[in-house]
Structure 1
Amino acid sequence: MDRLTISSSVLLSSGYPIPRLGFGVYQNYTADTSVLEAFTAGYRHVDSAQAYRNEHKVGLAVKQSGLNREDIFLTTKCISKTHGYESTLKGVNKSLEAFGVDYIDLFLIHNPHSGKDLRLATYRALQDARKAGKIRTVGVSNYGVHHLEEIRDAGLEAPSVNQIELHPFCQQHPIVAYCNQHGIVVQAYCPIKRIVRDINDDSTKPFRDLGQKYGKDPAQIALRWSLQKGFVPLVKSEQPERIRSNADLYDFHLAEEDMALLDGLDMAEKGAISWNPVDVD
């Protein structure tokens, strides 16, 4: 058994710790109550975005939780239509106001669709916002290797985080290898969506079988795989029971042969179920 707990964290290159399990609020219209439920279940990491339009509800949950601000890790993101230096700085201020906080723990470039020049301008703006104390850590999302390389080629420091679709059916090996080599923490979104969606499909039988072996549900098996791979999985739900069960991952450990079984399910790009724009120019 490893020593992971729900409060476990990994140190980012920015010098700040990030909790190893995150609570996502995409399409979550009850974020104020569900985030409070997540806090009660032990989550301390909330992943939002400007495009989700629920930063203010997340902020309400933070205030109502009674938790210390420094014990909560807040993430948000700026979508491509808002990219650009000045617009990004304005967006940071709007997010701070919406959350009702003095700083944002992690700010990501949400996607790479805006093109190289705007991507780099946005990245520089986020770095400057960090220097101003408004952001603690700068990262990216849906970035492929060539997007990460353009940051390095511009003489800028590497992002601390890259958030990508990641689960046993879509393992994104080249991107993960690059991130591991350059000290970039990999966050996994949609870590269980395909397993839950296709729960009765033949493709998800390994998760059902392992669930029986370990006394866990298939989603917990997929999340445990993600944790043991060293990723930071982001789970989402508005159902209190599911919120709690998605965090019940720390009383078992997948054996080496079971990890290998799940490793063998990779379908590369055919396994993706979200927009996954890592190959955009």
Structure 2
Amino acid sequence: MTHIPSLTLSNGTSIPQLGFGVFQIPPDDTRQAVLTALESGYRHIDTAEMYGNEKEVGTAVRESGLARGDVFVTSKLNNGYHAHDAALTAFARSLDDLGFSYLDLFLIHWPLPGIGDFTETWHALEEIYASGRAKAIGVSNFNPHHLERLAQTSSTVPAVNQIEIHPYLTQDDVRAYDTAHGIATEAWSPIAQGKVLADPVITSIGERLGRTPAQVTLRWHIQRGDIVFPKSVTPARVAENFRIFDFDLTPDDMAAITALDRGERTGPDPDTFNWVPDD
């Protein structure tokens, strides 16, 4: 079994640097996809209430035969529940849907700048953390000015900031802020929903190393220090994405991939995104 490197979060919690994401995986496909990932060696699953597949993630973890403590599971607060009491209720619902007594990591999914004040939401997460029902708490899609706002109202620094990162959106400014403040950076959409896989810089590196473009891109994330969780429902692709620890990119490779940055998002801009689900 390949050893997955782990990073230590600011509160001492250990998190596997490679995980498996279930964003956009339909509930009917999620159980088998997660089982396949766990059988392939993944020990970190990233879900969210917004994805609609927490129940299936929990079922797969239980059916895997692995001890609960051997699988790091993250979920996120849905956008309609930022009020303090609503956040507590939503967290309890996520635990119930997953069938767990605790989460390893719980995140505010989006800052929603035009809807309420996320600092109230953060205080609810602090209470959840103090209760022991989440081993660590953090945020997702927060820019430095959002994080500064939290710092003004709370002494609890997010353990993690999960943001969109890929070679076309390197997010060096956000990553630098996170590093300076002891916040681990997680990368969602790590291959830009496949857009980077035909890039000649990445394909040429892959050809030289005998690796796929996806493996090259994921290795770039790992060597940068990002926590990354690709997703796929294809077993061969799930296994392929796991095989990124037996080769290295050179400093020139790393620089060439980083130089592809063009500020191109595949998802919403956190400074303008204010969507909430219909109840």
Match of 1:272 in 2: 265
> Bigger CA drift: 162-171 or 112-121?
112-121
Deviation per residue, 1:63-105 (Å, 9 max, x gap): 1000011111010001222111100000111011111011001
Match of 1:253 in 2: 248
Q: Offset of 1:197 from its aligned partner? A: 3.5
TM-score (norm 1): 0.93
Q: Offset of 1:117 from its aligned partner? A: 4.9
Question: Could you tell me how far apart the structure 2 residues matched to 1:232 and 1:279 are?
Answer: 25
Match of 1:141 in 2: 140
Question: Could you tell me how far apart the structure 2 residues matched to 1:197 and 1:168 are?
Answer: 10
Question: Could you tell me how far apart the structure 1 residues matched to 2:250 and 2:150 are?
Answer: 38
Match of 2:220 in 1: 225
SS at match of 1:27: coil
Percentage identity across paired residues of the two chains = 38
Q: Offset of 1:275 from its aligned partner? A: 1.4
Say if 2:190 and 2:228, in contact at 8 Å, map to a contact too. yes
Say if 1:6 and 1:247, in contact at 8 Å, map to a contact too. no
Deviation per residue, 1:229-255 (Å, 9 max, x gap): 000011011110110001110110001
Say if 2:104 and 2:134, in contact at 8 Å, map to a contact too. yes
Q: Offset of 1:132 from its aligned partner? A: 1.1
Q: Offset of 1:118 from its aligned partner? A: 3.0
Q: Offset of 1:278 from its aligned partner? A: 4.7
Deviation per residue, 1:196-251 (Å, 9 max, x gap): 24644xxx011110110111000100000000000001101111011000111011
Question: Could you tell me how far apart the structure 1 residues matched to 2:11 and 2:40 are?
Answer: 27
Question: Could you tell me how far apart the structure 1 residues matched to 2:175 and 2:13 are?
Answer: 21
Match of 1:110 in 2: 109
Deviation per residue, 1:159-209 (Å, 9 max, x gap): 000000001110111111000000100000011134x24644xxx011110
Say if 2:197 and 2:214, in contact at 8 Å, map to a contact too. no
SS at match of 1:82: coil
Match of 1:7 in 2: 4
Question: Could you tell me how far apart the structure 2 residues matched to 1:254 and 1:56 are?
Answer: 38
- 1:1-281 → structure 2 map (5 Å cutoff): 6-29=3-26, 30-113=29-112, 115=114, 117-194=116-193, 196-197=194-195, 199-200=197-198, 204-268=199-263, 271-278=264-271
Say if 1:24 and 1:234, in contact at 8 Å, map to a contact too. yes
Question: Could you tell me how far apart the structure 1 residues matched to 2:63 and 2:152 are?
Answer: 44
Which amino acid in the other structure matches residue 24 of structure 1? G
Question: Could you tell me how far apart the structure 2 residues matched to 1:70 and 1:199 are?
Answer: 35
Question: Could you tell me how far apart the structure 1 residues matched to 2:249 and 2:189 are?
Answer: 20
Question: Could you tell me how far apart the structure 1 residues matched to 2:62 and 2:97 are?
Answer: 12
| 5+ long unaligned stretches in structure 1 | none
- The CA RMSD measured in Å over matched residues stands at 1.6
| 5+ long unaligned stretches in structure 2 | 275-279
Q: Offset of 1:14 from its aligned partner? A: 2.0
